[in-house]
Amino acid sequence: MTHILHLDASPRGDRSVSRTLAKEFVSDWQAAHPEDTVTYRDIGHNPVPFVSEAWIAGAFTPPDQHSPESVEAMRISDQLVDEFLAADRYVFSVPMYNFSFPANFKAYIDQIVRAGRTFSVEPDGSYKGLVQGKKMVIITARGGSYPKDTPYHAYDMQEPYLRLIFGFMGITDIEVIHADNLMGGDEAKATAIANAKAALRSVASVS
């Protein structure tokens, strides 16, 4: 049995392409693997808090020194980290905003990247990811496209950062599926969605 964490980051509802693709993927997955379980988190509609001074104080001092504000900040962060660690695989849908992702997604990252919980600092000063043996599918939606061998490839601060930050925590088995060129007209949008669905079906069949 596999436990999936399904997270949506778009603030849009049914009009969201990333959200719609992820919903279909998870639903197909559940039909094929009825024994698997899913936790759903919607940071698009219910954003998590930004890191605050109380959060920082709480994350870097022992619990018996925590103020009530730090206790509350750590309670929220611990809950998000526990949920993240409980999953075997991840299905995250993330729109591209200003060449990376919405601020709500960064807020989520800042809550779950925690020393001693999702990464450690080794005696030699190197970092070790503590989230091992997990698989991740990231579904993006983008108005433009950023193909290799074009000047626009370097504008993509989304996929490289997502691979880096989840890799930092130990997750390196990551499939990134883009629905891109969504603002390229009706035909381009339909083609992009069809291609993303085909890529997701192929991920589901080999996983």
Ligand X SMILES: Cc1cc2nc3c(=O)[nH]c(=O)nc-3n(C[C@H](O)[C@H](O)[C@H](O)COP(=O)(O)O)c2cc1C
Verify binding: residue 196, ligand X, rule CB under 6 A.
Answer: no
Q: For residue 46, count other CB atoms closer than 10 A to its CB.
A: 8
Sort residue 110 into left (φ over 0), alpha (ψ -120 to 50) or beta: alpha
Cα separations (Å) of 145 from 11, 120, 139, 192? Answer: 21, 36, 14, 10
Q: Does 18 bind ligand X (CB under 6 A)?
A: yes
Question: Burial level of 186, CB count in 10 A (0-12/13-18/19+)?
Answer: exposed
Residue 45 vs 128, nearer CB to ligand X? 45
143 sits near ligand X (criterion: CB under 6 A)? yes
* 16 near ligand X, rule: CB under 6 A: yes
- Shortest Cβ distance from residue 100 to ligand X (Å)? 8
Of 143 and 170, the one with the shorter C-beta distance to ligand X is 143
Residue 164 CA from chain centroid, whole number? 12
Select the span of 59-67, 110-118, 142-150, 197-205 touching ligand X (CB under 6 A): 142-150
Taking the complex as a whole, the smallest distance from the CB of residue 15 to ligand X amounts, in Å, to 7
Q: Which residues contact 202 (CB under 8 A, 6 or more apart)?
A: none
Residue 161 touches ligand X, criterion: CB under 6 A: no
**Which among 16-24, 53-61, 68-76, 118-126 is the span making contact with ligand X, rule CB under 6 A?**
16-24
Indicate the burial class of 180 (C-beta count within 10 angstroms; 0-12, 13-18, 19 or more).
Answer: buried
> Pairing between strand 119-121 and 127-129?
antiparallel
182 binds ligand X, rule: CB under 6 A = yes
- 104 sits near ligand X (criterion: CB under 6 A): no
How many residues lie near ligand X (CB under 6 A)? 16
99 lies in the binding site for ligand X (CB under 6 A)? yes
Closest Cα partner for 87 from 32, 35, 37? 37
If one asks whether residue 47 binds ligand X (CB under 6 A), the answer comes out as: no
Alpha-carbon span 182 to 143, nearest angstrom? 4
- Member of 97, 119, 161, 168 binding ligand X (CB under 6 A): 97
Q: Which residues contact ligand X by CB under 6 A?
A: 10, 12, 16-19, 95-99, 141-144, 182
